[in-house]
Chain A
């Protein structure tokens, strides 16, 4: 693949210390970690030079954990304790998982998110994902020679709030300094766009192991703007394997299978799928534990035939995303193919036929997401050179709303809104004298609450007793740059003090996460206190660096007294960060934060003023700009 050059050779190093930043693609089938080294984005390999880490985790009786190729090799032998494609379970309950009866796991259905019984105890999908992330963190730390300062983890663009929050918690469990969740197709667009200096409307067709995303972006100089996104967070290469698996069962007329045989045939199905990307026929041979023999040949034509409905399923979100972006096929300049599953010839053909152009395949579809994430991590960590940065404007994939009378959804933030975004809506009481209001937050496009995903339920108490319809309760939604929601409700009548702020929970509470964090640290024999100290030191360094940079560029915004106070805080924090008293570090950080709050506001003002300063209207009008369709009728 092409090397991605983002700093010119011979350029002087940035004035500040280079922070160790990584981008992680936490995939359904494989995971990767990448970084930007000397201006080049590179995927970090393991000791044996293998860039991919199979997203497979095996739990052993004595509490050991195998992750990656070793675990993958044992999956047929120990299917119950070897968790594959755990990404499909993130933030999901058992009833969300199609075909879960066919999976070899011992599930435990819990509200919000399922759990898995393993020989090492009950595990949540968040913990399993954290075990994968931990291996990638160690790989990066060994390879880069130090503690990480910043990590960006990618998620499918179509992931909802619960799935995003679960991923964020997995990062926390794995001890990763997560600074942003980035949508996978957006990451790919960054890698592709910067590498090819691409401009115009691009579609990213991302068919991974277990998820499908389509994003429509407008690329202009230094701006990546997502116009619309769509997808299916339960559709991917795994489903193509499953179709082959079903075809084997049917064609070979097999009796019901033992879990080991099922796992082995699924592996053979996956191998046949991969073989067919290069060959016209794939042999499938196996001797089952039951004594039955499988001896079949799968042709590309048959494979295309049995997976036709899956491909058709990806085209619906593509059409919807184009409609949402108010664009037609002819507007799309290029289609970037992402995800290992796009290697299948029938996928290439279907996408090419739909967009009436050859898809773009000049980046490795397995690596492009991790590469883009590494570039974004490098930028967010402040390692980029000024003038060489870019602006990323992403959207939320699904509408957010609340339940109103009759089980209907009132949408508050529509899908494809650019984030961060906020919206408030006023509601009222239904009964005379009603003093409490129940708020049910949902995500999805359907009109009935029962067809949408429930994100949170909370109650607002202390509403003054008034006649029905007299109270005014303002419900506010705020979605941050990670695509995560916070909801607040406040009674507006003068004098009343009823308000509440909640973050949706998907089945793991903060306390549970804290407990898991403790357990996991015990398990890997890391000292919890030492780990917390290390994290505080990293945070302190980040803050020190940020304030020093701010002082260097905008120190004149402070009075002499203010500056003296900030300088004193800096010295104290620097001192504390060098020691091992975590409390002192936290206190010094709080002081510095407090004494720079106004400073931050003034700098923001200055930036905004500068955005318009020193410019003539005539200059602007002379600049040719690609047209943006103004209206989306």
Chain B
């Protein structure tokens, strides 16, 4: 039971051991360590935790309690930001499994993927140069569909097949694609202004 990992077995009373500040993000939210997660449940647990630890609750407390509250609220925010989005969540799962994503090593990418990326970039650059807003929007939607499929792929590799090697490869591809998507969005934004 994931919840037990959060609650621990110690009674709260008189325990000298503080909550494990270094507990992993999933345990902190009482969620199973998996790529697929219920976003509504994550949101709800986030709010529940912040309700308990947020500095606003300790604004009139002593200095020690205020400092502790800031540390906890910071910790909860960090965990939430990591789990909320698919890419950081996937990277985090690989990190927990002590599997190196090797993001700095671009040469590890297969050539056909890199060629495909080049084609994408050319298409974006062309649409931007032509001020073709519709084309940019079209590229945005097409890429978003590819991202959704990629995430499905990563979910299967991480949660069912437990193939970390392949998962890491797909995560690296996802990083490229997300960067591309933000470039398309920037181009769309620049066109609107």
Contact = CB atoms under 8 A, between A and B. Distances in A.
Nearest to A615: B3
B62 A600 contact: yes
A557 B52 contact: no
Contacts of A603: 65
Contacts of B47: 223, 391
Secondary structure at the B interface, as helix, strand, loop or mixed, is: helix
A64 interface: no
B189 A608 contact: no
Given A380-B56, A478-B74, A593-B62, A605 B40 contact: no
Interface in A576-615: 592-593, 596-598, 600-613
Given A421-B74, A600-B64, A625 B193 contact: no
30 contacts: A180-B56, A323-B189, A381-B59, A391-B54, A393-B50, A417-B81, A418-B81, A420-B55, A420-B70, A421-B74, A422-B78, A478-B70, A546-B62, A557-B12, A557-B13, A592-B62, A601-B18, A601-B68, A604-B53, A604-B69, A604-B72, A605-B18, A605-B19, A608-B19, A609-B8, A610-B52, A611-B45, A612-B48, A625-B43, A630-B85
B51 A481 contact: no
B109 interface: no
B63 interface: yes
B49 A608 contact: yes
Interface centre among B41, B44, B52, B62 (most CB of A within 10 A): B62
B1 to A, nearest CB: 10
B151 to A, nearest CB: 8
Contacts of A179: 59-60
A568 B49 CA distance: 33
Given A602-B18, A620-B41, A625-B43, A608 B72 contact: yes
Nearest to B186: A323
B85 to A, nearest CB: 6
Contacts of B50: 391, 393
Given A418-B77, A557-B14, A559-B14, A612 B7 contact: yes
Given A609-B7, A630-B85, A391 B56 contact: yes
A628 B3 CA distance: 23
A426 interface: no
Contact of B84 (A320, A376, A627, A630): A630
Contacts of A320: 189
B178 interface: yes
A400 to B, nearest CB: 14
A474 to B, nearest CB: 16
A584 to B, nearest CB: 18
A543 B61 CA distance: 6
Given A608-B19, A609-B19, A612-B30, 17 more contacts: A179-B59, A319-B189, A319-B192, A379-B56, A381-B59, A419-B77, A480-B55, A547-B62, A600-B62, A604-B68, A605-B15, A608-B72, A610-B52, A620-B41, A620-B44, A630-B85, A633-B147
A299 to B, nearest CB: 30
Size range of the chain A interface in the assembly: 35 or more
Given A180-B56, A421-B78, A545-B60, A631 B85 contact: yes
B73 interface: yes
A631 B52 contact: no
B55 A606 contact: no
Interface in A163-188: 179-180
B39 interface: yes
A270 interface: no
B181 interface: yes
B49 A633 contact: no
B137 interface: no
B59 A608 contact: no
Interface in A418-452: 418-422
Interface of A: 19, 150, 179-180, 223, 316, 319-320, 323, 376, 379-382, 391-393, 417-422, 478, 480-481, 542-543, 545-547, 550, 556-557, 559, 592-593, 596-598, 600-613, 620-621, 623, 625, 627-628, 630-633
Contact of A631 (B3, B15, B16, B86): B86
Contacts of B181: 633
B94 interface: no
Contacts of B62: 543, 546-547, 592-593, 596, 600
B44 A612 contact: no
A492 B144 CA distance: 40
Contact of A150 (B18, B52, B60, B64): B60
Contact of A546 (B16, B65, B86, B193): B65
A602 B69 CA distance: 12
Contacts of B59: 150, 179-180, 380-381
A625 B192 contact: no
A600 B70 CA distance: 13
B85 A420 contact: no
A628 B19 contact: no
A600 B52 contact: no
A621 B45 CA distance: 12
B6 interface: yes
B185 interface: yes
Given A381-B60, A612-B30, A625-B40, A633 B178 contact: yes
B61 A420 contact: no
Given A480-B70, A608-B72, A611-B51, A625 B44 contact: yes
Nearest to A182: B56
Given A420-B74, A422-B74, A480-B55, A380 B68 contact: no
A618 to B, nearest CB: 12
Given A600-B62, A601-B68, A625-B40, A633 B144 contact: yes
A598 B18 CA distance: 9
Contacts of A393: 50, 54
Nearest to B63: A593
A542 B78 CA distance: 31
B14 to A, nearest CB: 7
Given A620-B41, A620-B44, A607 B65 contact: no
Nearest to A218: B43
A600 B61 contact: yes
